Amino acid sequence: MIASPNQSFLSPAEYLKYEQDSPIKHEYIDGEIYAMAGTTDTHNIIAGNLFSLIRNHLRGSNCRTFFADIKVSIATKNCFYYPDLLVTCHPEDRETSTYKSFPKLIVEVLSDGTEAFDRGDKFNDYQTLPSLEEYILVNSKHQRLEIFRRQENNIWTFATHSTAQPQITLHSINLELSIGDVYEDTTLLT
């Protein structure tokens, strides 16, 4: 993320209006906006694979799958982020068309420019969302996923999956998939 020059403090409402008319996506953190970088073809394929798998699994349910251009609002932290993918089943999320406030699953495909933030401050902010059950970090250089799951008493557990542990269960949406499904049509190392 790169701070946008010549921008003064924006309220959340001002940010949403600004973002609606902007040709560039920006994340919003406590009054400041940060321009989003583009992605690679591998990043895009991985996100597309996951979207297709999850969307097909949830078809006909009350859950919705979104990617790329839908923000997550974290009111308690005064921020809006663009995750690579999110799932929400909350009826109130149908009332807002550009952002969602009650995700149960969030996926971030890691890149060199965002990995530290996705693992650190962004994940800390996401953890304040009571609705969030799982947070997945998808490596874009090797076939590896890291899954963080909320347990009782707001404790987060960690599991990693690679070609050595290829079967993955997304508990939040009751979906079984494999590493091969996630990385289909990529040429990443195992």
pLDDT number for residue 7: 59
Mean pLDDT, residues 59-77 taken together: 96
The CB density around residue 92, as the number of other CB atoms within 10 Å, is: 11
The CB density around residue 119, as the number of other CB atoms within 10 Å, is: 16
- Nearby residues of 102 by Cβ (< 8 Å), 6 or more positions away: 88, 89, 90, 92, 93, 129, 131
Q: Which residue would you say has higher pLDDT here, 5 or 77?
A: 77
Q: Which residue would you say has higher pLDDT here, 151 or 189?
A: 151
- Quick: pLDDT tens for 93-148: 999 999 999 999 999 999 988 899 999 999 999 999 999 999 999 999 999 999 99
Closest CA to 146 of 156, 133, 155, 135: 135
- Quick: pLDDT tens for 142-180: 999 999 999 999 999 999 999 899 999 999 999 999 999
Spell out where 2-47 has E strands: 2-3, 26-29, 32-35
Residue range(s) in the chain whose domain bears CATH number 3.90.1570.10? 39-182
So what CATH class is 39-182?
Answer: alpha beta
